[in-house]
């Protein structure tokens, strides 16, 4: 099957969340553009969703313009919106693994994952991973991956992610920052088709330390590391004050920004493009994206979930697969 006929796999995510309904909405919006294949229990799709069960991924492309192709899994029962069922947990995990297998086997172009609920997986199954990304890394046989948040206005990567702010200075090591830059550079080149990526790197402290007056990390090791990497051929700007990195003129000077911690990265992209932000995992041996939001239990099943981020995640995954 040519790349253009291979589907983007949509894993169902947490059935009690908004994953099934935004998948159905995304298919309705993209059915004439991108072939899709949804993996999950078809009883969890919104009532009235035009769908058909297929036997394998090769059937998805021809079917996708008229119905959502479904590779069906029996989760053992219906889902109740907003109420995770522990008996569904292992099925959710298995669907993610199956989606990865389809992409790695060449039967699908890319994987787009719906949000999961980590506590539900830990309560209902032997899920020993902090989250989606770590599980995908294990399935891909890699240890170093990077979370990129991407939209048409900004691509940004946090070097440290879900840790307390007072832990960042310890967790942020020269080795960690170097690896984040290397993976981001390779991802922009190999997945986004940017031959010579330009990266802007934020400082850790206010005003990037202001010469040591507001913190020593920039002087002691961040700036020397960036100098060393520039000598190796990386196009890097920084360390830069984070408060002047994200206006329009600054963003025009780089292809992606590397931030030092979670909020330093996510606040600007969510301010600039809240609905269209996409979570991209770089460093995997396959293309994976996801919408930049959670399960939204409070609105699940009400038919009001905004599918924009899912639509953008599918489009991004398809473009990345074509660039590979």
Q: Rounded to an integer, what distance in angstroms lies between the CA atom of residue 218 and that of residue 206?
A: 10
Q: What is the pLDDT of residue 162?
A: 82
Backbone angles phi, psi at 320, to 5 degrees: -65, -40
The pair of structure tokens assigned to 137 is 């890394």
Q: Do residues 68 and 27 touch, judged by C-beta distance below 8 A?
A: yes
CATH code linked to domain 3-142+283-323 = 3.40.718.10
Of the pLDDT bands very low, low, confident and very high (cuts 50, 70, 90), residue 130 is: confident
Per-domain boundaries in the chain: 3-142+283-323, 153-271
Binding residues for substrate: 132-133, 270, 279, 288
239 preceded by cis ω (within 30°)? yes
Confidence grade of residue 1 (pLDDT, cut at 50, 70, 90): very low
| Residues of the binding site | 132-133, 162, 207, 262, 270, 279, 288
Q: What is the pLDDT of residues 280-299, one digit of tens each?
A: 999 999 999 999 899 999 99
**Adjacency order of strands within the sheet including 51-53:** 51-53, 68-72, 36-40, 8-11, 110-113, 288-291, 278-282, 146-150, 155-158, 256-259, 198-202, 235-240
Is-contact 203 260, C-beta < 8 A?
Answer: yes
pLDDT tens, position by position, 110-126: 999 999 999 999 999 98
Residue ranges for the known binding site for a divalent metal cation are 162, 207, 262
CATH topology of 3-142+283-323 equal to that of 153-271? yes
What's this model's pTM, rounded to 2 decimal places? 0.93
For domain 153-271, the CATH architecture is 3-Layer(aba) Sandwich (3.40)
């Amino acid at each position: 099957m040519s790349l253009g006929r291979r589907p983007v796999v949509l894993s169902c995510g947490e059935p009690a969340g908004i994953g099934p309904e935004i998948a159905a909405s995304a298919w309705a919006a993209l059915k004439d553009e991108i072939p899709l294949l949804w993996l999950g229990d078809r009883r969890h799709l919104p009532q009235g969703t035009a769908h058909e069960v297929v036997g394998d991924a090769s059937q998805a492309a021809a079917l996708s313009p008229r119905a959502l192709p479904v590779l069906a899994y029996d989760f053992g029962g219906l889902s109740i919106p907003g109420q995770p069922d522990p008996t569904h947990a292992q099925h959710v995990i298995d669907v993610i693994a199956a989606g990865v297998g389809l992409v790695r086997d060449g039967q699908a172009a890319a994987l787009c994952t719906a949000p999961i609920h980590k506590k539900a997986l830990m309560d209902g199954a032997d899920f020993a991973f902090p989250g989606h990304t770590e599980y995908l890394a294990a399935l891909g046989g890699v240890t170093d991956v990077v979370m990129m948040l991407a939209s048409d206005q900004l691509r940004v990567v946090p070097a440290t992610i879900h840790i307390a702010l007072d832990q960042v200075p310890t967790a942020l090591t020269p080795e960690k920052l170097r690896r984040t830059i290397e993976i981001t550079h390779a991802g922009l080149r190999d997945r986004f088709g940017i031959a010579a990526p330009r990266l802007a790197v934020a400082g850790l402290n206010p005003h990037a330390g202001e010469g040591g007056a507001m913190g020593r990390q920039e002087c002691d090791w961040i700036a020397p590391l960036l100098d060393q990497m520039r000598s190796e051929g990386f196009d890097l700007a920084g360390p830069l004050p984070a408060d002047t990195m994200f206006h329009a003129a600054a963003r025009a000077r780089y292809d992606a920004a590397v931030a030092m911690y979670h909020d330093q990265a996510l606040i600007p992209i969510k301010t600039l493009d809240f609905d269209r932000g996409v979570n991209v995992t770089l460093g995997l041996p396959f293309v994976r994206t996801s919408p930049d939001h959670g399960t939204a239990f409070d609105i699940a099943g009400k038919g009001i979930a905004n599918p924009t981020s899912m639509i953008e995640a599918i489009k991004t995954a398809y473009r990345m697969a074509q660039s590979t």
